[in-house]
Structure 1
Amino acid sequence: MNLLHANDQAGAYPPSYYAATRTPLAEFPALQGQIQADVCIVGGGYTGLSAALHLAEKGYDVVLLEAHKLAFGASGRNGGQVGSGQRQDQDWIEKALGREVAHKLWDLAEESKALVKNLIQNHQIPVTFHPGIAHACWTDVQVRDSHVYAEKLHRDYGYTHLETLDRVAIQNLIGSKVYKGGEIDRDAGHLHPLNYALGLAAAAAKAGTRLHERSEVIRIDHGATPVVHTATGKVVAKQLILACNGYLGNLAPNVAAKVMPINNFILATEPLGDRAKDILSQPIAVADTKFVVNYWRLSEDNRLLFGGGESYGYRFPDIIKTTSKPMLEVYPQLKGTKIDYAWGGTLAITMNRMPCFTRPYPNTLSASGYSGHGVAMATLAGKILAEATAAQSERFDLMASLPQQRFPGGAALRWPLLVLAMTWYGMRDRLGI
């Protein structure tokens, strides 16, 4: 199944709140005929756009190809949360990779947040970064663990932006009685993800990148001089960057074996007006501790944007039904509230939930598999890809050294095996284990 066409209209954004409130940006033409470039980038999300911008600022002649619209994929559909750290916590990273590497990865993650904020400021991207992400715990054990982890980050990493919350504090903050406590990260935050991506695109174009929408790559001839083919043209490049994430498909099977596409879903309610302060008393975002994570925030016009719900298939389900269930579990007071938008999107995970950086072919770099932690990390990944393209590969090599396993079962069985695992963890969520 080609996920570029499985659930969406060709060349169009999904009917999301983000698409309805996006900053206007002129369309970019489809690729026509044969052209040459120093670097060809496949994929117009955060990774590709950040790589294009940083390379163009270095003086490279860059062409970027996007199958549909810029930020058509996860970059234009996600929850908009800009979190701290890597997708795995520092305890896991220290145990798996050692403390020296753990500190380097923490520093990179801190840089990724700062990079998002700096790009918004330096390129006057019309988007607001709202500080604050709360982590809400379902069990007393999880609360204890989260508070211990906050102490660890303060002690071992000098991170002073976490405020621990008891049951009363978390309930006063998020207006739900189902959580036992947690913490709030004041240096993390949230933003309008599509407008952020479109701002990167505008900056990349201004810096000289040649952007082409509706230019789906159908074949790549790998070699010393990669040749990238679309239905209406081709790019002959000195170097190639694959920035396709969950939509990689058959372009690089050796990467796709380690990067699994999965779907996630978001609802946007009608504007809540005065009720909004009873949902979130501060303009923060929230993510909880379920394996199938619930995450939410208020939009700038006081809609609840709520993501979550289980679905085990590449075709999108009834999204309102799927995602209303966890939303009403957290906020039963919203029963009967009108849902104005409902959309799904495809992201990508890896076996260990750490991003997959690799050199899959000669003169080709790839980064993907951000596992739901991509707004900041994918932006930094683009910068790191640009550095490696310019022969400054230390940071790329660090990320590429992270061990990445293939998903078991090969192309035929890896999805059914993932479904079994997700079903098991979903059952644990429902049982409160």
Structure 2
Amino acid sequence: MTRLPAPAPSLWRSEAPPLADFPALAQDTACDIAIVGGGYTGLHAALTFAEAGLSVAVLEAGEPGIGGSGRNGGVVNAKFRRGFGDIARSHGLDMAKRMHALATGSFDHVCETVDRYDLTDAGFRKSGTLKCAHSRKAFDHARAEADWLRNTMGDTGVHILEADAVAEETGTRSFVGGVLQDGAGTIQPLAYLRALWRTAQSRGIDLYANTPVQSVTAEGRKVRLATPSASVLADRVLLATNAYSWLTSAAKPVARSLVPFRSAMIATEPLPDELNTRLLHKSRSYNETRRMMRWFRKVDGRVVFGGRGALGAVESPAAFRRLERAMVKIFPELADIPIAYRWSGQVALTFDGLPQAGFLSDRVAYAAGFNGAGVAMSGYVGDQMGRRMTGQPHDLGLIAREGIPKIPFYPMRAIAVRATTFCYEMLDAAGL
């Protein structure tokens, strides 16, 4: 087994309400559904299975939140990495509208989850998100995309903001305009995850932490999941390991369909009162239009700033330095504000820019590949896969796959991603 990543020394970890200790699996057990992975995908699926009257066991390799669900930026939006216009060109307008409805549904699903289970300590706010254009060309493109979403997709929740409005809201003149999307918000991601663990426990779901699944093998009409101390015999299995599918051989087929990419974040010390009042005063999430996109938001008077870091399983000090330089370029006033937290985590990229969910066999399913936009979508796909596996109405659109996609030239993925990243950074630096 590959060594588990260390818990992220993040702002989220310092502020999230504590979670009771969950034991590792110590003796053999049996259930209707076994879920590998205790992140958003696995927990939402578990709740759906439990509501259908099935016995469920969730097996998490480390402590709750050690993976992407506890490390992300807490941006809750209705989007895919791939644009809806591109989906319309390649799959037709009807499919684009269907995927748009799924994206909107993923945000609504978070809202409904927080309300239904009274997750008041998750820090969820329906505040919108603002895409900030770094150049006139980027603004023209964002404006055209917003017009198309309104006129073709019927999306009334997009609004074009001119430069003065963006400057007033952000406190910086670094942008030439922007597009505001109403159907978005922010959340304290680790607090949200821990709240889901408590909710699952209250509904009788068996939850095991520090229980890596080492193998998943067919055993007659059942499936056996082996862990270091005991095993689980289940009727069916859902692999919900996403970017951390490489940790053990159990999810190796899923890992080979993804490119794990490291996303890094920094959080400043609390801002002085004047800066806190002037910068990002609407407390929504923001992102910029560069190819190597950066995002930022304000949390409890701190600026949290993030973006793509590096390929690989270890943190890169250079990635944090790049983030600090990018942040100060946008907000020069932050040059003298110390950085309090630096952390990172992995996101799972797919070849076509869309999540993927399906079956490896008639008894083993998977869901993965949220491309860095999974706070809302990962839980929604988990819920929809739970519905699919229990014969309930569901819709996954292009996310539903026959078998599992393969990354072309998989052994060379690291070289390809590094080359693409370098190219994007050069184009951004040139202003193209």
TM-score normalised by L of structure 1:
0.94
| Structure 1: stretches of 5+ with no match in the other structure | none
1:137 is aligned to 2:151: no
Q: Match of 1:348? A: 348
CA apart distance, 1:77: 1.0
Contact 1:292/1:310 (8 A) holds in 2: no
Structure-to-structure mapping, 1:261-276, within 5 angstroms = 261-274=260-273, 275-276=275-276
1:196 is aligned to 2:203: no
SS at match of 2:96: helix
Percent identity over the alignment is 28
Query: Against the structure 1 CA distance between its residues 233 and 317, is the aligned structure 2 distance closer, same or farther, given a 3 Å change threshold?
Result: same
CA apart distance, 1:291: 1.9
SS at match of 1:40: strand
Contact 2:354/2:399 (8 A) holds in 1: no
Contact 1:270/1:339 (8 A) holds in 2: yes
Structure-to-structure mapping, 1:211-360, within 5 angstroms = 211-222=207-218, 224-249=221-246, 250-274=249-273, 275-299=275-299, 301-308=300-307, 310-318=309-317, 320-360=320-360
| Structure 2: stretches of 5+ with no match in the other structure | none
**CA deviation map 1:10-67 (0-9, x unaligned):** xxx3110001111122111100121000000000111001101111122110000001
Moved more, 219-228 or 56-65: 219-228
SS at match of 1:169: helix
Contact 1:309/1:326 (8 A) holds in 2: no
Distance in structure 2 (CA, Å) of the matches to 1:219 and 1:253:
10
Residue correspondences, number: 425
Distance in structure 1 (CA, Å) of the matches to 2:380 and 2:356:
13
Query: Against the structure 1 CA distance between its residues 59 and 373, is the aligned structure 2 distance closer, same or farther, given a 3 Å change threshold?
Result: same
Moved more, 152-161 or 280-289: 152-161
CA apart distance, 1:426: 1.7
Q: Match of 1:103? A: 97
Give the partner amino acid of 2:288: D
Query: Against the structure 1 CA distance between its residues 363 and 372, is the aligned structure 2 distance closer, same or farther, given a 3 Å change threshold?
Result: same
1:382 is aligned to 2:382: yes
1:46 is aligned to 2:40: yes
Distance in structure 1 (CA, Å) of the matches to 2:39 and 2:325:
30
Query: Against the structure 1 CA distance between its residues 73 and 321, is the aligned structure 2 distance closer, same or farther, given a 3 Å change threshold?
Result: same
Distance in structure 1 (CA, Å) of the matches to 2:148 and 2:374:
24
1:88 is aligned to 2:82: yes
SS at match of 1:308: strand
Q: Match of 1:68? A: 62
CA apart distance, 1:253: 3.3
Give the partner amino acid of 1:234: S
Moved more, 220-229 or 129-138: 220-229
Distance in structure 1 (CA, Å) of the matches to 2:408 and 2:325:
31
- Give the aligned CA root-mean-square deviation in angstroms: 1.9
CA apart distance, 1:422: 1.4
Q: Match of 1:150? A: 146
Contact 2:262/2:308 (8 A) holds in 1: no
Distance in structure 2 (CA, Å) of the matches to 1:429 and 1:305:
22
1:364 is aligned to 2:364: yes
Moved more, 111-120 or 196-205: 196-205
CA apart distance, 1:303: 0.7
Contact 1:80/1:375 (8 A) holds in 2: yes
Distance in structure 1 (CA, Å) of the matches to 2:34 and 2:424:
40
SS at match of 1:33: coil
Contact 1:287/1:296 (8 A) holds in 2: yes
Contact 1:242/1:364 (8 A) holds in 2: yes
Distance in structure 1 (CA, Å) of the matches to 2:292 and 2:260:
15
**CA deviation map 1:302-349 (0-9, x unaligned):** 111110254244321115423212111211211121111110101111
Contact 1:311/1:322 (8 A) holds in 2: no
TM-score normalised by L of structure 2:
0.94
Distance in structure 1 (CA, Å) of the matches to 2:165 and 2:398:
40
Distance in structure 2 (CA, Å) of the matches to 1:344 and 1:267:
9
Contact 2:98/2:397 (8 A) holds in 1: no
Q: Match of 2:203? A: 207
Contact 2:79/2:373 (8 A) holds in 1: no
